[in-house]
Amino acid sequence: MKLRHLVTSSIAAIGISFAANAAELRVGLHSEPSSIDPHYHNLGPNNAFGTHIFSHLVGSDENQQHYPDLAESWKPINDTTWEFKLRKNVKWHDGSPFTADDVMFTVERAQNVPNSPSSFVTYLKGKTFEKVDSHTIHIKTSKPYPLMPNDMTTVKIVSAKAAKGASTEDYNSGKAAIGTGPYKFVEWVPGDRIVLERNPDYFGTQAKYDRVTFKPIKAGPARISALLAGDVDLIDSVPPLDVARLKQEDGVTLSSGPSNRVIYLHMDQFRENSPHITAKDGSPIKNPLMDVRVRKAISMAINRDAIVARVMEGVAVPAGQLLPAGFHGVSNKMKPMKYDPDGAKKLLADAGYGDGFKMTIHGPNDRYINDAKIAEAIAQMMNRIGIEASVETMTKAVYFGRASRGGPNKSPEFSFMLLGWGAGSGEASSPLKALLHTYDKSKGMGAANRGRHSDPKVDALVQKALATVDSDARGKLLAEATEIAVGENFGVIPLHYQVNTWASKKGSSYQPRTDERTIVMGLN
């Protein structure tokens, strides 16, 4: 059975839907965006929230299928050129008209936002944008590129007029937060609320609510209490431990669905002196994570079934590769690594680390479901094979910047990291290109490759796949790249795929999304 069809559960039949243009919707969010600037940080909460204010050229629905957004149509007009026809009569929130000039401005800005922890350059590099007329854009590449519509679902279009010279702070204050989306920005009080109001001039289906208030509520029990008390109408990231209990609540509807997000481990593979690894007595040692035998031993030492059962309360799926079954480019040869602590100890000894070593596991504590608990569980499993592991977690606002560029010369700071990746393209090219292709900022490759894994064979397969128009042939190339990068090199270590649950007041239900986004347009 394909994973994307694996889980759909709700409690209480849906009786009525919210009235059109209801006064206000209040949403309790597990993760607050780190910025209103849609180009500052390629991060799930930011990408989800920004969809309310800004639009893309190509939209992506709950199953990551494409639909016309600011582009009304698109097609390849030759082997290396895509043509996008833009909607006419679309207005920005300030009343000015949307044109091709806004697209041209956007693609330049999105690649050059100062201090971006994870930029959108990976979706734009290697593409030449040309304005044909006020509502036609051509995008050219040096080789055939079949994923152009996928890439255009990722970058939100901003107003050239409002954004010219604007900083990320100007977006956060609302000064530059002018979009074409169904809602307008009202205010952001970090840590307290983000308020939006309905855009009466939206070109698509009119928003249902006059006003939406997003309230960041980091703690799961607090989000549930807020819903049960009537303080919010919808919450995301229902903790797995509370799913069974909420099923007994008559006034609540649960909506669950599988995600394309893999939770994984990234390891320092580019420097001999890794900053958070020492011998057990604290003395310096050569970075053991550069040895594939050590990386494989770590994977063998992880009891994924136990993490899913005990940490995730059964609401997750053990992972053996970058995407679950049912998505394009996955390998039918790969399964989750079998738990084998004795085999792991032998591999460590073979690699010259029979006495183990000491390391710190770094991770966020407010980004993924039970992220801090997962890191603690991994540490316990490492200790069982002789790796003395401690855990340091922090808020995502601090973590991702340090993980990407907190070290010397803006290199990744950490040695061993807990992370997650959702495939924006809906196929394996997304994590392969971002996480495992050799880091090359100039080409937009390896943008989130914080372990700096590098294998020329993997690079060649990924690049060939990205230029392969035939879908089946591309899928085989992606599967082969995954088998090498993950199955042989252990460039990253997959742990599990998230299953996400939303809870809303009875009488409404949320449409689960494979991209995990909480978007109020999906509340019925």
Q: Per residue in 234-287, pLDDT tens? A: 999 998 889 988 999 999 999 998 889 999 999 999 999 999 999 999 999 999
Burial label for 408, CB within 10 Å (0-12, 13-18, 19+), is: exposed
If we measure between CA atoms, which residue out of 227, 229, 203 comes closest to residue 217? 227
| 405: phi then psi, degrees, rounded to nearest 5 | -150, 30
Decide if 19 is inside a domain: yes
Q: Do residue 415 and residue 334 come from a single domain?
A: yes
Q: Do residue 400 and residue 508 come from a single domain?
A: no
Structure tokens at 309: 């059962």
> Can you name the residues that pair with 502 across neighbouring β-strands?
255
Whether 5 has a pLDDT exceeding 60, the answer reads: no
Q: Do residue 194 and residue 275 come from a single domain?
A: no
* Confidence (pLDDT) at 326: 84
If we measure between CA atoms, which residue out of 237, 246, 298, 241 comes closest to residue 267? 298
Average of pLDDT values for 486-514? 96
d(CA 155, CA 110): 8
pLDDT tens-place string over residues 121-169? 888 989 999 999 999 999 999 999 999 999 999 999 999 999 999 999 9
Q: Do residue 249 and residue 372 come from a single domain?
A: no
Decide if 147 is inside a domain: no
Decide if 129 is inside a domain: no
Q: Do residue 318 and residue 228 come from a single domain?
A: no
* Confidence (pLDDT) at 63: 86
Q: Read off the DSSP letter of residue 98.
A: P
If we measure between CA atoms, which residue out of 309, 316, 356, 318 comes closest to residue 336? 318
Residue 214 host element (H or E): strand 209-216
* Confidence (pLDDT) at 368: 92
Long-range CB pairs of 401-407 (<8 Å, 24+ gap) are 401/115, 401/117, 402/362, 403/362, 403/450, 404/117, 404/118, 404/448, 404/450, 405/117, 407/275
| pTM of the predicted protein model | 0.78
Whether 35 has a pLDDT exceeding 50, the answer reads: yes
Whether 299 has a pLDDT exceeding 50, the answer reads: yes
Q: Do residue 271 and residue 330 come from a single domain?
A: yes
* Confidence (pLDDT) at 426: 81
How many Cβ atoms sit within 10 Å of the Cβ of residue 203? 18
Whether 3 has a pLDDT exceeding 60, the answer reads: no
Whether 100 has a pLDDT exceeding 60, the answer reads: yes
Decide if 139 is inside a domain: no
Decide if 148 is inside a domain: no
Q: Do residue 204 and residue 328 come from a single domain?
A: no
d(CA 359, CA 381): 13
483 and 334 Cβ atoms separated by less than 8 Å = yes
* Confidence (pLDDT) at 2: 36
Q: Do residue 328 and residue 363 come from a single domain?
A: yes
Band (pLDDT 50/70/90 cuts) for residue 14 is very low
Question: In total, how many domains does the chain have?
Answer: 2
Q: Read off the DSSP letter of residue 288.
A: G
User: What percent of the chain has a predicted confidence (pLDDT) above 70?
Assistant: 96
Mean pLDDT estimate for the chain: 93
Residues 6 or more apart in contact with residue 169 via CB below 8 angstroms: none
User: What percent of the chain has a predicted confidence (pLDDT) above 90?
Assistant: 85
| 132: phi then psi, degrees, rounded to nearest 5 | -90, -50
Where helices occur in 202-301 by DSSP H, the ranges are 220-228, 240-246, 292-300
Whether 6 has a pLDDT exceeding 60, the answer reads: no
Q: Do residue 216 and residue 298 come from a single domain?
A: no
Average of pLDDT values for 444-459? 95
> What burial letters (b/e) apply to 382-403, b meaning 16+ CB within 10 Å?
beebbbebebebbebbebbbbb
Report helix, strand or coil for 337: coil
Q: Do residue 379 and residue 292 come from a single domain?
A: yes
Whether 491 has a pLDDT exceeding 80, the answer reads: yes
Decide if 463 is inside a domain: yes
pLDDT tens-place string over residues 398-439? 999 999 999 999 999 999 999 999 887 789 999 999 999 999
* Confidence (pLDDT) at 20: 42
d(CA 258, CA 319): 13
Decide if 138 is inside a domain: no
Sheet containing 81-86: order of strands = 71-78, 81-86, 136-140, 128-133
Residue 132 host element (H or E): strand 128-133
Whether 10 has a pLDDT exceeding 70, the answer reads: no
CB-side neighbour CA atoms (13 Å) of 341: 12
Q: Do residue 380 and residue 460 come from a single domain?
A: yes
Decide if 137 is inside a domain: no
What is the domain-level CATH number for residue 314?
3.10.105.10
Q: Do residue 209 and residue 341 come from a single domain?
A: no
* Confidence (pLDDT) at 22: 67
Domain that holds residue 190: 3-65+108-120+156-258+500-522
Residues 6 or more apart in contact with residue 75 via CB below 8 angstroms: 82, 83
What is the domain-level CATH number for residue 253?
3.40.190.10
Lowest-pLDDT range of 10-19, 74-83, 345-354: 10-19
